[in-house]
Structures are given as C-alpha cells and as structure tokens.
Structure 1
Amino acid sequence: MKKVKVALLFGGRSGEHEVSRNSAYSVAKALSDKYDVFAIGISKEGEWYGPVPLEDIKQFVPEHYADKKITILPHPASGGTIYQLPGLKPVHQAEVFFPVLHGTFGEDGTIQGLLDLAQVPYVGAGVLSSSVGMDKIFMKKIFAEAGLPQVPYLYFLRTLIDNHIDKIITEIEEKLGYPCFVKPANLGSSVGISKAVNRGQLEEALKKAARYDRKVIVEKGLSVRELEVSVLGNDQPRASLPGEIVPCNEFYDYRAKYIDDRSALYIPASVPEEAVKRLQELAVAAFKALDCAGLSRVDFFLTKDTNEILINEINTMPGFTTISMYPKLWEYSGLPITELVDELVRLAVERFADKKRNITTYEE
C-alpha cells in the first residue's frame, strides 16, 4: 500500500527550538513505519532545510544542509509541493503537513496561515485558535466569556513597564499581592516566567518577561497542585484522564521541565472521581471555546485549601518529548503514540475536507 506523504516541520524561530527538535524526533519515529516522512528543519533564522534524516532531527545543524534549502509557495496551485532553493525545483509532494513547532512562528497562527494559503491539510489548530491559544491574555478573555474558572490576573504592555514600572508594581501589590507569577503573554514551556515575593523580585520579573514579549501577564500566586488533561478530536473532542506534575523546582519552569529532569509525573492524578469528570469537562470546554482542532493540552490548578479547579492555559501544540504529558496521558488511556499520531493525521485530513466545503466566491 502506498504510504501517505507527511511533511514534518520542526525547529523554528522560537525560544522552544530545542524542545521542538526533541518532540519532532518522537513524532517522526512514531510515523516512520506507516508514513513517508519528509522532515523539514527550520533554523532559528527561519530558513527551511530538508529532508533531514530521522537520526539527525534531535541534533539538527542547519549548516550541514546548506545545499538543501527548501520552501513551499503560499498559493493553492502548489498543492503541497516542496521546492528546492534557489530555482524552485520540485523535490517532494506532501499530502499532509505536521508542524511540530512550539512557541512563536509555529504555534501562534503564522505557519498555519501559510499552510492555509497553500491549501494543504495540516495537523492541529487553525490560525485563530493557534494565535489566541498562544496569547495568554486573549486566551483568558475568551475563557472568561465562556464562564471557565481562572486565577485572578493583570496584564501590561512593555512600554508601560519601561516607563511606569513603579506605578505598575503598586497596582499589582494592591490587586494581586504576593506571591505572584510574571509571564510573557506569548510564549510557552514556561520560558521567561518568574515568581515574585517582594517588590525587588517583581521589578526584576517584569523586566525579564518584557524581554520576550511586548505584553506581560501577572497572576496571583496560589497554593496549588498542577494537573494536565490531553484533548483529541475536531468537532467532537474527547479528553484523557488527568495527570499531575510535581515540579522539582519551586514551580514548573523551563529548567524544571527540560534541564534538571527531576520533576515527577503522576498518571493518572490522584484526585476524586468527581474531580476527574470536572477536569475532563473543562478541558473539552476550553478546547471548544477556542475552536481548536486535532490536539491540545489543557493545564489546570487544583487549590490545596479549597479543592477549586482553575484553568491555567491551553497549549495547541503540546510537547511530544520523552517527558511530555500529552502522549503519556493518551498512552495510559489506551492510545499508544503510533496510534495517536495516526489519529492526528486522520483528523487533519477530516478538518481539511470540511474547510473545502466553504464557498469562497459570491453566490446568491
């Protein structure tokens, strides 16, 4: 049987470039038996190279592929054709694109817009869902509109932090107090996040977060357990059992996730049955509120004093590394990673077929 040709995108212009490479390696391995995988490495400068052999994905070095620069064209006539640069010589015809890209220029709607212009099927959320899911401020506004419970928060522009930081700190102290968490609005994997317990730390945290994004969000610090639920599907998504993360550091930052490698993952989370049901319901509600597609991981807080469930955020392209909760939760729920990626490709084709039903010319 002819194998479906999948173009796997990884790397990219993001602070999560290295995480993406590790995720893509796991996905490529899971796809390799059933699919014809054409791996495309995107450099930190945004240049595309390929094909990259599976064994080179984790340690992708763009300079090793200087004679394999490639691109796609942003119009439907290209039909998933991958072209070599310079000269635009066709080198591959992809049937489905799988963007295993985390963070900016991959999970924020930009690559999704390009793939929509090229009119090709791709795994994961579309432009709007991706961009809103990436922007924690707009994400929280939509969650609030949907009536989903959240942690109290404030947000500020970088220009205000640059010019009126004392005023901002006073507002945070009055409305949220200490401890509080400071985050860039548009970044994942806990990059640029700090916990502040006093005015000096808060000033430093605001300046740090503003290095990564022009919008900064500040959340009230609560004593919580951190739970995660994986969601899979299109219009009728389903949720996995919840898992729990116990950070090795004070909170689940980038170092705790990917460097120190001492955080504990518990699958399933030890919570009452009614809490499991509520977490699953809220995860699906969050997925639908953003009109996501394919996959998402929804992160929750469970307050230790009142057992209140609060949504932290949604991740529209969760990690697939060896320590990533998204595939682990589905594996525990009876869906191993080979079947999971197979289902994601199927969902991409399904969503694309539904999009093609849209009329793009005026008709009475």
Structure 2
Amino acid sequence: MNKKIHVGLLFGGNSSEYEVSIMSVNNIYDAIDKNKFEVHPIWVTKEGYLADEKDSYKVLANPKYTIKNSDKTANISNIAQLANLPEIDVFFPIIHGNLGEDGCLQGLFRILNKPFVGDDVLAAAVTMDKEFTKILTQRIGIPVAKWVSIKRIEYNDKSNGKNDYTKISQKLGNDLFVKPSNQGSSVGVHHVTNKREYEEALEDAFKYDDKILVEETIHGTEVETAVLGNDNPQVSGVGQIINAEGTFYSYENKYGENSTSILQIPAKLPGSIVEKARAMALKVYQITECSGLARIDATLRKDDNEIVFTELNALPGFTNMSMYPRLFEEEGISYSDLISLLIENAQERFEHKKTLLHSIK
C-alpha cells in the first residue's frame, strides 16, 4: 500500500477575499482524493493568526466560526510556525490577496524547503500587481486597455492632474474603470462615467491599495481561459461571462446569491476567436513565468472582436462552480483529478529545483 501524501491546505487570511477562500477550501477538502492524500486544514484567521488544526476543522464546518478572546498579533506574524509541521509533504495555499498570493507566502515555502501549489515567488509578485502584468503583456504585443496609474502620494497631492477627471478623461475617455492594482475578486473596482463617480471610486479604491489603475473601458464581454502546468502547460477552452446590460463582473456578480451573470462554458464563439484567446492565454502565462495554475481574463471587444487582455489571476476562485475548474471539467478533467494534478505539478517543480541545486554544487 502506497504511503499517503500529507497536504497542508492553507486557507483564510487577513484579506478582503477571506470569504472566497473559505468557499474554495471547503470544496477542495470535500473533493480531494483521500485515498491518495492525508489532508491537514490550516486556517489563517481574518485577524491573521495561524490557528491549530482543531480550530481549522471547526471553521470548515462553520465558516462563521471565530476564535474568541484571541490576543494574537495580526498579519500572520506566527506563520513561521508552519516549520513545526514536518509531516506536511506539500502545501496547497488557498489564501487570496495580499500576503497569500503576492510572493510572501511563496517565499516562506521556499525557505521551509517544501513544495507548494501555484506560482513561485517571482511570478506571484508580478501577477499580483495588475500594472506590472500589463507592462509585460504589452511588451510581447498583446493588446491591453490604455491606463494611468496613481500612487497614494500622487493622490494626496490635490494639485496632481491624475486626480482630475477632466484631465484623465481627455487621455482615456469619459467611460473608465478604477481599480486597486493589487486586489482580486473585483474588490474595490468601480465603473465610472462622471467626475463625482470618479472621485468616489478613487477614495474607495485607495482603501485597498497604495496604487490605483484608471483604465479606459473596453466594451464587450469577458472571456476567460484556464492554464494548468509548469514547463509544458495545458490550455483549456474558453468560457464567456454574460452580464446583464449595464453591469460588470463585480464581486456580487461573482459570488452573490442574486448574481445577474451567466458563465457560458464553452463560449459560443467562432473557432478563430477561441484559438486567439487560447494562444494569448499561453503567451501571458509564459511571459509572467507562471507555474501550477492561472486564469487569464480578457475582453472580447464589441467593435472589432479584438481580444484585449484584462488581468491574470494566479490563484483563481476554486469552488466547484468557479470558472477555472469548470473549464477543465469541459476538457475531461474532473474537479478531484484537477486537485491531484496541481499537487503533482508542485512536487514535480520541487524535484526539478532540487536537481538543479545538486548540479550547481
């Protein structure tokens, strides 16, 4: 009988996407092949405290469970205690947002010398920042929406022209999106068409990040492609998000009970457009040096059917109804098998790095 692989399923986090993480991890825990894997849930609370396994199981059973009277410090300052879990063979992080998918946690896994699912340090840091991702994709000739970035110091300078809707709209148009550069799940994202909305959007977006992107609106529908693997990644088909007229794919439309969005899988698009979206997804995955998994989002522009890159999500929502697993289910890979493949890819990358280190010595 083969020895089971011990998987540390890390979830929660001091992030605006905490609830998304809880939804995803419950689905992963239920679906993971327990004949192959011994699962250890590891909960990071909203306050940033690394809980023990007993409490981790409690929050799986009840997502609203909290640790009462905790005097622990925030921002996962005790997460180095992961080093005290020698039984873990591979980590599977499902912590979205800051500290979870921006390279910090990945760096700790490298220091602990443990394999982990998802991007390595560089790709995690680059893809967490929407502007850096846009710069890289633009560098290889992929169309992106025109944008301006505003840093907090510029925002605080009221004389700065970037705060002026009239000046910004002269450059990008009246119809704009305002979004934090380092957030996911559409947190802090606003669609604006006038001065009042623009100023309110900036104020809200700066609650989540120190750098904000203001982008021209690309009119069309969102198309998404999933990628799986390391050096020779597999690209899924394309899904399309159909939103009610006048709405965008907001946090509420992604996760709310009253969502007006329809996930069309596979997208009902001409084969040439599907293949163009898939080719773009592969190029973006490779230029950002992703590994493990990513979902690449783009807009199919209404006027000319051009595929315009929007952003890359290196740790996409992973509920059984999320776009990423559903796209691979369409390819014949079940949700449970997809989880197994991600863990295998993590171990493969780890072994490859070990081989490289030995050859250098």
TM-score greater than 0.5 by the shorter chain: yes
Give the 3-state SS of the residue equivalent to 1:219 in structure 2. strand
Structure 2 residue aligned with 1:195, among 175, 191, 194? 191
The alpha-carbon distance between structure 1 residues 20 and 14, as it changes in their structure 2 partners (threshold 3 A), is same
Aligned residue pairs, count: 350
Structure 2 alignment gaps of length 5 or more: none
1:56 aligns to 2:56 (yes or no): no
Mean alpha-carbon deviation: is it higher for 288-297 or for 23-32? 23-32
Aligned counterpart, 1:254 = 251
Aligned counterpart, 1:31 = 32
Does the CA-based 8 Å contact 2:59-2:65 persist in structure 1? Answer: no
Instruction: Give the Å deviation of 1:323.
Output: 3.3
Instruction: Give the Å deviation of 1:262.
Output: 3.3
Structure 1 alignment gaps of length 5 or more: 83-91
Does the CA-based 8 Å contact 1:120-1:352 persist in structure 2? Answer: yes
Instruction: Give the Å deviation of 1:197.
Output: 0.4
Instruction: Give the Å deviation of 1:166.
Output: 6.2
The alpha-carbon distance between structure 1 residues 57 and 162, as it changes in their structure 2 partners (threshold 3 A), is farther
List structure 1 runs of 4+ shifted beyond 2 angstroms.
52-58, 64-74, 357-363
Structure 1 residue aligned with 2:128, among 130, 134, 149? 134
Aligned counterpart, 1:224 = 220
Distance 2:248 2:61 in 1: 29
Q: Deviations over 1:189-223 (max 9, x none)?
A: 00000011011111111111111100000110121
Does the CA-based 8 Å contact 1:233-1:347 persist in structure 2? Answer: yes
**Which one-letter code corresponds to 2:200 in the other structure?**
E
| CA RMSD, Structure 1 to Structure 2 (Å) | 2.4
Aligned counterpart, 1:162 = 156
Does the CA-based 8 Å contact 1:49-1:70 persist in structure 2? Answer: no
Aligned counterpart, 2:201 = 205
Distance 2:281 2:297 in 1: 8
Instruction: Give the Å deviation of 1:359.
Output: 3.3
Q: Deviations over 1:253-311 (max 9, x none)?
A: 11111123332110000111111111111111111011111000000100111100111
Instruction: Give the Å deviation of 1:362.
Output: 7.9
Does the CA-based 8 Å contact 2:12-2:18 persist in structure 1? Answer: yes
**Which one-letter code corresponds to 1:183 in the other structure?**
K
Q: Deviations over 1:115-152 (max 9, x none)?
A: 11101000000111011111011111111122221111
Give the 3-state SS of the residue equivalent to 1:108 in structure 2. coil
Aligned counterpart, 2:13 = 12
Distance 1:224 1:58 in 2: 39
Instruction: Give the Å deviation of 1:54.
Output: 7.8
Distance 2:284 2:350 in 1: 22
Structure 2 residue aligned with 1:326, among 324, 327, 346? 324
The alpha-carbon distance between structure 1 residues 193 and 289, as it changes in their structure 2 partners (threshold 3 A), is same
The alpha-carbon distance between structure 1 residues 106 and 334, as it changes in their structure 2 partners (threshold 3 A), is same
Structure 2 residue aligned with 1:94, among 88, 95, 99? 88
**Which one-letter code corresponds to 2:67 in the other structure?**
E
Distance 1:165 1:250 in 2: 32
Distance 1:229 1:58 in 2: 32
The alpha-carbon distance between structure 1 residues 12 and 54, as it changes in their structure 2 partners (threshold 3 A), is same
Mean alpha-carbon deviation: is it higher for 244-253 or for 332-341? 244-253
Distance 1:70 1:39 in 2: 19
Distance 2:39 2:69 in 1: 17
**Which one-letter code corresponds to 2:273 in the other structure?**
A
Give the 3-state SS of the residue equivalent to 1:356 in structure 2. helix
Query: What is the TM-score with the length of structure 1 in the denominator?
Result: 0.90
Distance 1:171 1:135 in 2: 25
Distance 2:3 2:358 in 1: 32
The alpha-carbon distance between structure 1 residues 109 and 70, as it changes in their structure 2 partners (threshold 3 A), is closer
Aligned counterpart, 2:181 = 185
Does the CA-based 8 Å contact 1:231-1:237 persist in structure 2? Answer: yes
1:109 aligns to 2:106 (yes or no): no
Q: Identity percentage over the alignment?
A: 38
Does the CA-based 8 Å contact 1:136-1:186 persist in structure 2? Answer: yes
Give the 3-state SS of the residue equivalent to 1:172 in structure 2. helix
1:142-153 → structure 2 map (5 Å cutoff): 142-153=136-147
Mean alpha-carbon deviation: is it higher for 278-287 or for 58-67? 58-67
Give the 3-state SS of the residue equivalent to 1:53 in structure 2. helix
Does the CA-based 8 Å contact 1:158-1:215 persist in structure 2? Answer: yes
The alpha-carbon distance between structure 1 residues 97 and 159, as it changes in their structure 2 partners (threshold 3 A), is same
